[in-house]
Structure 1
Amino acid sequence: MNLLLAEVAQATQRLADAGVPSPRFDAEELAAFVHGVKRGELHHVTDADFDARYWEAVARREAREPLQHITGRAFFRYLELAVGPGVFVPRPETESVVGWAIDAVRAMDVVEPLIVDLCTGSGAIALALAQEVPRSRVHAVELSEQALDYARKNVEGSRVVLHHGDALTALPELDGQVDLVVSNPPYIPLTEWEYVAPEARDHDPELALFSGQDGLDTIRGIERTAHRLLRPGGVVVIEHADTQGGQVPWIFTEERGWADAADHPDLNNRPRFATARRATP
C-alpha cells in the first residue's frame, strides 16, 4: 500500500469516529481533491507526491464542515456545481424531484416548455432541467444575494434566466403561462433545529432550511405562487421532509384550484416530494 492509501485509511477512521455519515467516501474525495486526481486514480499518487495539506482538509471535515465547502464543488445529476458558505448544498434526494419533473415536462405536448424554479439556491434544479430538457425555457428565482452569486457562476453560458426576488411574489409577468413550477424550499420546522445534522445546521444558510413552526410556511406561499404562474393543466412539484408526506398534498386542494395532488417516494421509499396539477376551469 502506498503512503496516500494508508493515510486515507487513517482518515476514514478519524471521520468515522467524528460521526461523519460517509467516512470512506469523504476521505477518498478529499484525497482526490487535494492531489488533483479522480477517486479511482488515488493509487497512482506516489509517496513523493503526497501532499500534507490532506490532513488540513481531513481536520475540517472531522469538525463537520461540509465536504462540498472544503472542495468548493457539489455533484448533482450530470452537473458539477460551485458551492460554498452562503448557499444551500444540493442533496442527492433532490435528484428524484428533478427526475419526476423531467418526465412530466417530456410528457407534455409543448414544443418549448416554460419552467420556473423557485428558491433556486445554487441553480442546481434549474440548470439540470435546462440541460436535460433541451428546448425548455427556464427561469430561476432566489432571494439571497450570496446564493445568487453561486447561481450566476453555475448557470453562466446556459439558457437559465436568473431573477433576484422573493418566491412568493416572483415573476408576475409570467402569470398563467408556465408549464412547470418546481421548488426545493426551506421546510424544516423551527422546533427541529437541534436535530439537524451539523453540516446543515451550522453551515447551510438558515433562509434555505427553516420555515415556521411546522416547516410549511414557505410551501403554503409557493402554493399560491404556483397557482398564479401555471397555465391550466400545468404542474407543480415541491420537495418536503420525509415526515411531512401526509401534510403537503393537503395544501394543494381542489377548493384552491388543484387536481391530482399526490406524494412520491425517494430512492429510499420515503415520501419526499408532492405534485399537483392546476385544475382546468
Structure 2
Amino acid sequence: MQEFPPLDLSAVVTTLRAAGCVFAEDEAGLLLSTADGPAELAAMVERRAAGLPLEHVLGWAEFCGLRIAVDPGVFVPRRRTEFLVGQAAALAPERAVVVDLCCGSGALGAALTASLPGAELHAADVEPAAVRCARRNVGDRGTVYEGDLFEPLPRSLRGRVDVLLANVPYVPTGDVALLPPEARIHEPRVALDGGGDGLDVMRRVAAEAASWLAPGGSLLVEASERQAARAQEALRGSGLIPRVVVSEEWYATVVIGTRPR
C-alpha cells in the first residue's frame, strides 16, 4: 500500500489520474478532507484506484445538499435524480404523504421530506443492505420497510399517497454489460436491470400506483429519453394521466403519472 504524507494533494492526484479517474483533482480533495490521517488516506486511495465507486470509498454521497450515507453494495444516488426530487417538491401539498419505492440509500425520500415540513414518509427496498442504509439516512423523518415494491407498506396508505417516488431500475438487460465498471461490478444488479426494454419494474409499479395514490397524487419515475413514450403508455394504461419533463442541464427525463381527481 502506498503511503502519503499529510495533505499531499499532488501525490493523490497523480495516483488517481494514473488509475483513470477523470476528475482526479476533485476526488483527491474529497478523499483528503474525509480521511482521518495518512494511513486511512492511503487505504482510501488504494480502494478508489482499484475501481471502487468514490461514494463507497467516502461512505457518503452529496445529494440535494445532504450528505447521504452510502455503504458498499448499495446503489449510489445520481446527481441527475435531483431533478426528479425538484419536480416532486413542486407537486407536493402541505403535510404530504410520500412513498419512496426502490429507495436504495433513501436519498430521494430524505431529500424531499427535508424540504417539506410535516411530511409523512414511507420508503421500501428489497435489498437488506439498502434498507439498513436508508434507515440511517431517513432517521426520524419516516419509516423504511424491507420488501418488494408495495408489498411491505401499511395497507392504511392506500388512497392516501400524494407523492410516489419510484427510482426503479431502467437499464435494459442487454445494456447492463455496457455500464461503467463502477456500477456494473459494485452496485446490485437488482438496482440496475430493468428487464428486456428496461421498463419491467416501472410497469409493475404503474399497475398498482392508482390504488395507492390520493386523488390528484402523482407517481414520478426516471427513464431514458427513448423510453419516455412507452413509459407514458404504461401509466395511461394504469389509469394515470401521464406527462414527461426533461432537463437538458441534468440530462434527466422524468415521467409523471397523476391520478385524476
Is TM more than 0.5 here? yes
2:64 aligned with 1:63: no
Paired amino acid for 2:15: R
1:203-248: per-residue Cα shift (whole Å, max 9, x none)?
1111111121211110000112221201221111111234433432
Percent of aligned positions that are identical: 33
User: Which residue number corresponds to residue 101 of structure 1?
Assistant: 88
User: Which residue number corresponds to residue 257 of structure 1?
Assistant: 239
For 2:250 and 2:122, the matched residues in 1 are separated by: 30
Paired amino acid for 1:256: S
1:239-267: per-residue Cα shift (whole Å, max 9, x none)?
123443343222211x43122x2222235
User: Which residue number corresponds to residue 221 of structure 2?
Assistant: 238
What residue ranges of structure 1 are gaps of 5+ in the alignment?
Answer: 36-49
* Counterpart selection for 1:169 from 126, 129, 151: 151
1:9-40: per-residue Cα shift (whole Å, max 9, x none)?
343243234332322111111111114xxxxx
SS of equivalent residue, structure 2 residue 186: coil
Contact 1:239 1:272 in 2 (8 A): yes
For 1:161 and 1:189, the matched residues in 2 are separated by: 31
For 1:217 and 1:233, the matched residues in 2 are separated by: 25
TM-score (norm. length: structure 1): 0.83
1:14-93 aligned within 5 A: 14-35=15-36, 51-93=38-80
What residue ranges of structure 2 are gaps of 5+ in the alignment?
Answer: none
For 2:64 and 2:193, the matched residues in 1 are separated by: 25
Contact 2:80 2:251 in 1 (8 A): no
1:96-175 aligned within 5 A: 96-105=83-92, 108=93, 111-156=94-139, 158-171=140-153, 172-175=155-158
Cα root mean square deviation, aligned:
2.0
Larger Rg: 1
Q: Report the CA distance shift for 1:191/1:173 in structure 2 as closer, same or farther (over 3 A).
A: same
For 2:134 and 2:84, the matched residues in 1 are separated by: 19
2:211 aligned with 1:228: yes
For 2:225 and 2:44, the matched residues in 1 are separated by: 32
| Paired residue total | 256
For 1:240 and 1:265, the matched residues in 2 are separated by: 10
